[in-house]
Structure 1
Amino acid sequence: MPEALIALGLSLKVALWATGLNLVLGTALGYALARWRFPGRELLDALLTLPLVLPPTVLGYYLLVLVGRKGWLGAWLFDTFGIRLIFTWQGAVIAAALVAFPLVLKAARSAFEQVDPQLEQAARVLGLSEWAVFCRVSLPLAWRGILAGLLLAFARALGEFGATLMVAGSIPGQTQTLSIAIYEAVQAGQDATAQLLVGITSICCVAVLVAASRLAPPSRERA
């Protein structure tokens, strides 16, 4: 039981940090894709959505190439600041954030596209800056869709396995999240532990999905 609580606490910490990162990046890029027209916009959207369809092990490999000790970013971080991301919970956060990012991006873009541009234009006519228009008009009208995407991303980050295992490993109490702990328990033949962890994970994910369905913007009825 203590091991399950430790794995649950670590999974929640990783998922919360990953969701926080996606809140900033996913909302900003979703707004940009919804409001700005530029060459290659749909190609950029496809590239940013790629983690949704790529196998997690492929994403894990890309992350190893990028932030590993021999990766260009990982080597720079270690040589300059002494920061090591591989086999750390911070590395698990990066892996979970990458895998769950498209869920926030798609939800944010869809939510901003449903905001009437005339309302934003009226705010500009009244003298509001672009930042004020975003904070006082666009975001308040789109927040339900964004929050629903964040909850789905949280559930996805909570259950992330493949990329996290490749980047962070399975160190009990340090990088062993719920999904990895389930895998280790099954491999060791600890059925009771595996069933407990599966139950905890299922309850958490069902609760998040129910909350996301309640927050999703209501569909417009046809006239």
Structure 2
Amino acid sequence: MESMLLNQLKRLSSDLTASERMSYKLLMSLAATTLSPGFIEDRALDKHDAYSIVSKVLVGLHTYGKPVTENGIAWKGRPDFVTDELLSNLQHEARRLRATATSYRDHTLGYNGEIANRLATSKEMVELVEAAVGPAIATGVASFIYYDQEGQGIPPHVDTDIFALNILMMLEHDFDHERRSDLVLFPPDGPKTVVHLQPGEIVIFYAGGVMHGRKPLHTNEKVTILTFGFQPQAVL
């Protein structure tokens, strides 16, 4: 049953124009958001689950140079080029730009950091991404995201094509509570993946196809991250 429906949905997407494909992705994204198990529910997703089918369609809308991993993570760690000095400079830049950042209900967004923008298209960053996922193009979009009010976080979603590959760096995470706000991925066939990051660590994941979100902040918890957008070269 799953195979038949999945094949039909994938076949439909292959015959669409670019604009129709964008609309199709939006529809699948809305369906996946509705069907997502969410942060609290911890149910296993079997291959007949409707969420699994819709998620596989979303993943299939992008052509990556390497197969999408089961947990949705392409790479995680602290690369050598993220030195203590670079991390400190990025942290200071993020704090400086916080005053002019744009506030939304669930987060605050900052742009135009000179250091962050250089890093977004640097040779080192491009090489790291391509080693993990295959040929990719840096979009040049670097964003500081601030979560600094209790309850802030991002519900499960997929990113736009500019962030088909999302490179997320933890800058600061302050808390005095046992439970923490973390990035959570919801891959098609597996259990949710909770991503713990220390300052300076990076995770590269398939944000354009794999549902993900950030668990809400708890009391006296603050998170500042830096994200970079990449696209698999095959889609350009």
TM-score, normalising length: structure 2: 0.26
Greater strand share, 1 or 2? 2
Q: Taking structure 1 as the reference length, what is the TM-score of the superposition?
A: 0.27
Higher helix fraction (1 or 2):
1
